[in-house]
Amino acid sequence: MTLFTSMNSLDPRVNRLPIDKVANSSPKAALDQFGTFEVFVQAKEGKPFQHEGIVHAPNIEMAYVLAKETFTRRFTCISIYVTDTRSVHVSAMTEGTNNAYENINDSGASEPKTSYEIYHLLKRGKQHIHVGSVTAGSPDEAMWRAKASLAGEKQVFNIWAIRTDDIRFTTTEDKDLWLTLPEKKFRDASDYKGGDKLKAFLESVNK
């Protein structure tokens, strides 16, 4: 095999790169890759939103666009939303039979009241799921109110609270990307049925 000692690529576009003219500027400056946003996806009508992961983005609009591209370019979903990681208020994580709500105490009410979305982690190793919303004057108050109205019977390992106004929701126009997904069969394993071709080939060889 030919060994390339310098940049002697098989791809002419690579050979045209101005390597000597572009200086290496590492180490990268802080936030060169931006801050992070948390992404939530709703798979089907009637199903709750679920936390899926993060994207790096310069602002919440770009975060929304990148989240669509990263998490929904193949799997169909009906809605998605994003929020700045800094907007998520997190309870302590618990283990064993300790319920996260046991650590939530009345920290007093405050004004003005606004809406908060509440998420539960019901199984360690899985992801946070949206359970409902409450009205409160602070994130701590929101968790306290959630303890009364949303805690439920199941064991909760971790609680998140996000101010509803800090979320970038999906609008009707945003759904365009998903409308064309079913046509994009080339992204799907099921579009690559080689069985018949293979069978015909094997028969022709064995003749």
Partner 1 sequence: MYGGGNTFEGIKPDALAGEDPIKLAEFEAKIDRGEKIEPTDWMPQLYRKQLIRMIEQHGHSEIIGALPEGTWITRAPGFKRKMSLMAKVQDEVGHAQLLYSAAETLGKSREQMIDDLINGKSKYSNIFNYPTFTWADCCFISWLVDAGAIVNQLANAKGSYGPYCRALDRICAEESFHLKYGHHCVIYLAAGTLKQRQMFQEALNRWWPPMMHFFGPSDKISVHTEVLMKWKVKMGSNDDMRNQFLDMYVPKIKELGFTIPDPKLKKNTDTGRWEYTEPDWEEFKRVINGDGPCNKERLEVRRIAEERGKWVREALRAPKAQYVTPLA
The footprint of partner 1 (CB under 8 A) covers 1-4, 6-7, 9-11, 13-14, 17-19, 22-36, 38, 51, 53-56, 58-59, 62, 69-70, 73-75, 85-86, 88, 90, 93, 95, 124-125, 127-128, 160, 184, 186-190, 192-194, 197-198, 200-202, 205
Do the Cβ atoms of 106 and 144 come closer than 8 Å? Answer: yes
Dist. CA 90–CA 194, nearest whole Å:
49
Give the nearest distance from C-beta 2 to partner 1 in angstroms: 7
**Between 75 and 135, whose beta carbon lies closer to partner 1?**
75
Q: Is-contact 60 39, C-beta < 8 A?
A: no
CB of 38 to partner 1, least distance (A): 6
CB of 165 to partner 1, least distance (A): 17
Q: What token pair was written down for 116?
A: 């908060």
Residue 120 CB, shortest distance to partner 1, in Å, is 13
> Which residues are CB-contacts of 124 (< 8 A; sequence separation ≥ 6)?
95, 157
